[in-house]
């Protein structure tokens, strides 16, 4: 009889430590058992047999099926590289199941000219012509060719591309910012970064006769919007 009662108590109190339940109260468990003992006393006219001892939460926990997952920490999904297949080979990501959304990306870079080349650019005296104007056009053209330049990028229809340049006299540098926009199933981060990179290379090409010490630095994504991962902005 006591084993039957024990099984009933175990079933009645299983919700306290069912899988997925992170916490339970010993006081609540003991209270439930005391109420069950009172019910048994009402039915049988006496409390449960003392030869087997009073029912306690320890009996229930010993007899209950182990619930190994109720206190386990949530599993964390490890980030994976989407361009690597199950066998480790490079692959183009299949975006056919994704929903189209409005997507934008902004990228930037800096071209450190040095004092001599910077003064020539600022005075528009570079022999090849308007350095900043040509760099802007080169960046826009490059963004539209990203899918041909980067092997695993998708060919997408861009709705807008812009490249802006600014002279930084303090650092003798050209600061370049590029923005790309599209409505589709994949992002435009690579288009924005390709735009500023090629614009920077164009500045170098047009100024290399004046200096060989020119450096292109800090090519980076500044922000992106849209897509499954939502918005992202670089922390200042």
In the prediction, which pLDDT does 56 show? 55
What domains can you pick out in the chain, each with its CATH number?
Answer: 2-63 (no CATH), 101-233 (3.30.70.640)
Cα–Cα distance, 126 to 135 (Å, whole number): 13
In the prediction, which pLDDT does 166 show? 98
Please identify which of the residues 30, 164, 205, 218 carries the catalytic annotation: 205
In the prediction, which pLDDT does 79 show? 58
Q: Is 207 helix (H, G, I), strand (E, B) or coil?
A: helix
What Cα–Cα distance (Å) separates residue 145 from each residue in 97, 98, 139, 140?
24, 23, 10, 9
Q: Tell me the residue ranges of DSSP E strands in the chain.
A: 101-112, 160-168, 173-184, 215-225, 232-233
CB-CB contact of 144 with 207 (8 Å): no
Which structure tokens are listed for 62? 């010993």
In the prediction, which pLDDT does 16 show? 46
pLDDT, tens digit, for every residue of 7-31? Answer: 555 555 554 444 444 444 556 667 7
In the prediction, which pLDDT does 7 show? 58
Cα–Cα distance, 132 to 120 (Å, whole number): 12
Cα–Cα distance, 36 to 33 (Å, whole number): 5
In the prediction, which pLDDT does 23 show? 47
Which of 101, 100, 82 lies closest to 91 in space, CA to CA? 82
Sheet architecture: strand order including 173-184: 160-168, 173-184, 101-112, 215-225, 232-233
Q: Which residue has the tokens 């826009």?
A: 140
In the prediction, which pLDDT does 37 show? 73
Instruction: Based on the residue annotation, tell me whether 205 is a catalytic residue of this protein.
Output: yes
Ranges under pLDDT 50 in the chain: 15-24, 51-53, 60-61, 64, 66-71
């Amino acid at each position: 009889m006591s084993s039957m009662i024990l099984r009933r108590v175990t079933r009645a109190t299983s919700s306290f430590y069912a899988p997925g339940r992170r916490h339970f109260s010993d006081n609540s468990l003991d209270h439930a058992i005391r109420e069950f003992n009172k019910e048994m006393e009402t039915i049988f006219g006496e409390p449960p047999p003392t030869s087997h001892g009073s029912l306690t939460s320890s009996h229930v926990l010993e007899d209950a099926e182990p619930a190994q997952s109720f206190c386990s920490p949530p599993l964390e999904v490890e980030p994976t590289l989407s361009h690597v297949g199950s066998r480790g080979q490079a692959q183009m990501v299949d975006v056919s199941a994704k929903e189209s959304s409005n997507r934008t990306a902004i990228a930037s870079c800096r071209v450190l000219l040095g004092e001599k080349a910077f003064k020539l650019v600022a005075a528009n005296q570079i022999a090849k012509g308007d350095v900043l104007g040509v760099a802007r056009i080169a960046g826009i053209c490059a963004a539209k060719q990203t899918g041909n330049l980067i092997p695993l990028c998708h060919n997408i229809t861009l709705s807008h591309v812009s490249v802006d340049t600014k002279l930084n006299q303090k650092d003798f540098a050209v600061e370049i910012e590029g923005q790309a926009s599209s409505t589709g199933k994949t992002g435009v981060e690579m288009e924005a970064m390709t735009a500023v990179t090629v614009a920077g290379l164009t500045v170098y090409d047009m100024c290399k006769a004046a200096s060989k010490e020119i450096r292109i630095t800090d090519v980076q994504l500044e922000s992106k919007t849209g897509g499954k991962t939502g918005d992202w902005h670089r922390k200042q």
